Amino acid sequence: MFFFTMDSYRFSFSEPFLSHRRKLFSEFSLCVGASLLLCSLFFFSNSLKVPKNSVFLSVFNSSNINSSFVSHPFSFDSTNHSCLSQNNASEEGSVVFGGTLGDMKKNSSFMSSNVTNGDSYNGNTSVVEVRNEGDFVRDKNVSLITHSDDDQMENIEVGFLDEKCDVFDGKWIRDYSKPYYPLGSCPFIDRDFNCHLNGRIDLEYVKWKWKPNKCHIPSLNATDFLERLRGQRLVFVGDSLNRNMWESLVCILRQNVRNKKRVFEISGKREFKKKGVYAFRFEDYNCSVDFVASPFLVRESSFKGKNGSFETLRLDLMDHTTTRYQDANILVFNTGHWWTHDKTSKGEDYYQEGNRVHPRLKALDAYTRALTTWAKWVDRKINANETQVFFRGYSFTHFWGGQWNSGGQCHKETEPIYNETYLQKYPSKMRAVEYVIEKMKTEVVYMNISRLTDYRKDGHPSVYRKDYKTTMTKNPSSLYEDCSHWCLPGIPDTWNELLYVSLLKYGKGTWKV
């Protein structure tokens, strides 16, 4: 009988075998460790790898953005190459119509923002909403520029100081940070332009921003504007459309002055419709923003004929008001709307040069001659080293069914024109302006605002040029519509925004960037 103990079953191995076993386990552990390391590196590199279809969106400076980097979750739809927000909550934002692919910008920082799908308007127009002003957005049916789209990067954004940047070539985008001054806040707006005070209820017309197609422009910084204007005079010279623009700038600048009492019209006037010279002084900055009423720029006169005296327009002489603005630091001229007035468009026994009154002269011909007189005066009298000269272009009207005095209407227009086929032709008068300016010795900046105004059929006072309820109660037939001028706040604020940009781009002295 055998009895076995545990110790009797214990195996023993030779030393060579034990050495081989230790080497085997050592190599196995090393392989496992290396495999784990390689796997970790593989997954880590995949997490850092940029997918071929990833889209980086650059962000522009905006007063609404408080951080250099803002991110929201996106999912990429490879079917239509668009970025779709995973957050489906609707938010106030920008509506873009007629945009281009050129609004991408190379930048070391990238931003993604909430984008909601938009619907199409008329024609090929697209609409997309974003949260912040300046965000880059695209229609979901248009391919975005991706990391691999090197051939499309030729349309990258340039700064507004670049010569390639045409700030007047662009589209309107929704902007809920507008207007520059609250509705009803500025006491210096003529009643005819104060649509809110006159009872206009719809407010969407003030929530648009002009966006150039190939560059980004800054908003008007009122404090910077006043600092650069310190000790200077800016004068608007022209018709009531320039008065529209003048009142707009006064209100924009005044909004950023702490003590509003230190902004005042030097003669104490509160009505600005009559012909004359008006000057708003900004006491804290020792500067003024003035308006000189001169609808033709040239002189309104009279002629003594065989049958008595009659009114004429001296195409060869400047208006008497030139002495009131000749020494200004910045001049903004305009003329155009009065050249379609009944008596000027007929052109019979009205236009005068020297002692001759033309029996008949077309308005465009007379307009060109008057501009030539203006150009010669500027070349002769204006010191280009001290004075910056601008000419603001023609502002489109939107009368349907007649003119201002024959039943023309634009009432109930609450949206811009989306379909570009409805836009009007470039005004022949502005071609005359370009022709004359090209021949001048003095550098004149032409503010071509015609097209940007053509879109905005929604921005006119229409029936709200007076108190709508009161006028309708008393005499509805007397309520002719104003589809020429613009509500304030409104489109003229954008003209001044572009004036600010143009001053920074072409200005002299304190305006040099």
* Positions marked active-site: 240, 482, 485
- Alpha helix (H) ranges present in 295-423? 342-346, 363-381
**N-to-C CA span, the chain:** 112
Do residues 235 and 182 make contact, with C-beta atoms less than 8 angstroms apart?
A: no
Angstrom distances, CA of residue 16 to CA of 12, 20, 23, 396: 12, 6, 11, 101
| Three-class secondary structure of residue 192 per DSSP | helix
The continuous run of DSSP H or E covering 473 comes out as helix 468-474
CA angle 98, 430, 406 (to 5 degrees): 85
Cα separation, 89 vs 367, whole angstroms: 54
Do residues 377 and 463 make contact, with C-beta atoms less than 8 angstroms apart?
A: no
Tokens of 338: 């009065």
Residue 210, strand partner residues = 172
Contacts of 136 (CB under 8 A, 6+ apart): 57, 58, 59, 103, 104, 105
Tokens of 507: 């200005």
CA angle 369, 373, 378 (to 5 degrees): 145
Closest CA to 286 of 325, 235, 228: 228
Tokens of 314: 């001296």
Q: Spell out where 218-260 has E strands.
A: 233-238
Angstrom distances, CA of residue 443 to CA of 76, 370, 446, 506: 50, 19, 10, 10
Phi, psi of 434 (to 5 degrees): -60, -40
Residue for token digits 């209407």? 409
DSSP states along 47-88: HHPPPTT---------TT--SS-----EEEETTTTEEEES--
